[in-house]
Structure 1
Amino acid sequence: MIGKAVHIGVDLAIVSAFLAAVKRNTGLAPDFNQIQNETARYYGSKYLDLGESMFDYSVAALSSSGYFKRK
């Protein structure tokens, strides 16, 4: 049960990081203003903020690694 919850949590974090990368590279982002529920809007925004943080951390870690270089 706990393993499945961790698996789903990791999957959600990966999707959030992917959406953050799409937003950063293309400017496309979900329109939370169309959601009527204010709580859902708030947590949707926080979910994408988590992805942005993960994306920033990953870029910083990979850019300091010797295995990656900028083109």
Structure 2
Amino acid sequence: MTLLGKTVHITADLILVATCLAGIRRNTGLTPNLRYVKNDSIRDYTARYLKFGESCYDYSVAKIGASKYFSRK
């Protein structure tokens, strides 16, 4: 696998993990506790990563909600 292929694969995996964490947060209220991260820049990047997952989750729910293949119960 080329370097570009690996980069795309890892990026897709990171997006899926962020979206999954957003779904867990929305359904259960559980979220990572960032107070224990010592480095400020790592804490900032982690918070941005989690916010990106929230936006991916919102976009996915909006697209699926507008689809005729899904219905709400």
Alignment TM-score, normalising by the size of structure 2: 0.96
1:7 partner letter: H
In 1, distance between residues paired with 2:45 and 2:33?
A: 13
C-alpha RMSD of matched pairs (Å): 0.4
5 Å-filtered alignment, 1:42-61, equals 42-61=44-63
The alignment status of 1:28 with 2:18, answered yes or no, reads no
Match of 1:40 in 2: 42
Gaps of 5+ in 2: none
CA drift at 1:25:
0.5
In 1, distance between residues paired with 2:7 and 2:47?
A: 22
Match of 2:9 in 1: 7
Gaps of 5+ in 1: none
CA drift at 1:55:
0.3
2:71 partner letter: K
CA drift at 1:21:
0.2
| Percentage of matched positions with identical amino acids | 48
CA drift at 1:35:
0.4
In 1, distance between residues paired with 2:29 and 2:46?
A: 17
Task: Report the number of matched residues.
Answer: 71
CA drift at 1:59:
0.3
